[in-house]
Amino acid sequence: ERDLIPFLTEFGGTHESEQIRPYINLQYIQVESQLLNSTYWNYDLYNTKDGKDNWNLENFSLLGPQRKPRHLDLATRPYPLLSSAKPAFLSFDTKNKYFSLILEGGVIDKPTVIFVPKKTHYQKGFYVWSTSNTKESIEWDADDQLLYWKPSKELDNNALVISERNDVQSSKLPKEVSGIFSTLTPLGGFE
């Protein structure tokens, strides 16, 4: 529709800000809400306390002094790598660990591939609900942290929800998903 691939590059914030965590999270919420591709600025192997990012005295790096990670839980989020239909909605709630994806339109005969950062957000495993009603519609590759989902070809819209717990509070899901959550099929847990 846009004759381009929307890509937001070099966004971030200084780690000297008191509000850096909500700021980074808000940036990613906006990226997801607009269905953009993005690259965070930056991940500097040589960040130091005095030299910071060693350029313009910026201190944006997700890797801090002594190569200590900073706020990677905000930047490492579930997202679709490949979609078998047009993405219409994408959301990740860092507090509740709820990931939601809605696809619309015709589905091709290939799975949607979703990166699920198990090592960051789902160390004890996760649960999946979907408009696809069989466990065979999901395949989990634990080594690469990739979830392969085959959406239903019979539906105009397909939805998938991931949670770290088996008891999702639908009232805490985004409105785009909360109203349909009760119609989704639980497909079990994955480790």
Mean pLDDT (the chain) is 95
Q: Under 8 Å CB-to-CB from 174, ≥6 apart: which residues?
A: 89, 91, 93, 100
Which tens digit of pLDDT belongs to each residue from 106-121?
999 999 999 999 999 9
Q: Under 8 Å CB-to-CB from 138, ≥6 apart: which residues?
A: 128, 130, 132, 147, 148, 149, 150, 187, 188, 190
* pLDDT score for 6: 80
What distances in angstroms separate CA 36 from CA 53, 101, 119, 127, 180, one per listed residue? Answer: 26, 14, 24, 26, 24
Q: Name the percent of the chain lying above pLDDT 90.
A: 91
Q: Are strands 7-11 and 37-40 parallel, antiparallel or unpaired?
A: parallel
- DSSP symbols for 105-129: SPPPSS-EEEE--HHHH-TT-EEEE
* pLDDT score for 53: 95
* pLDDT score for 22: 97
* pLDDT score for 157: 96
* pLDDT score for 164: 96
- Model confidence at 1: pLDDT above 80: no
Find out whether 98 and 113 touch, Cβ atoms under 8 Å: no
> pLDDT-based confidence at 3, cuts 50/70/90?
confident
* pLDDT score for 88: 97
Query: Stretch 52-78: mean pLDDT, rounded?
Result: 95
Which tens digit of pLDDT belongs to each residue from 132-172?
989 999 999 999 999 999 999 999 999 999 999 999 999 99
Find out whether 122 and 97 touch, Cβ atoms under 8 Å: yes
Query: Stretch 47-65: mean pLDDT, rounded?
Result: 94
* pLDDT score for 24: 97
CB neighbours (10 Å) of residue 122? 21
* pLDDT score for 173: 97
Question: What per-residue string of b and e applies to 22-55 under the rule 16 or more CB within 10 Å gives b?
Answer: eebbebbbebbeeeeebebbbbbeebeeeebbee
Distance CA 107, CA 90 (A): 17
* pLDDT score for 87: 96
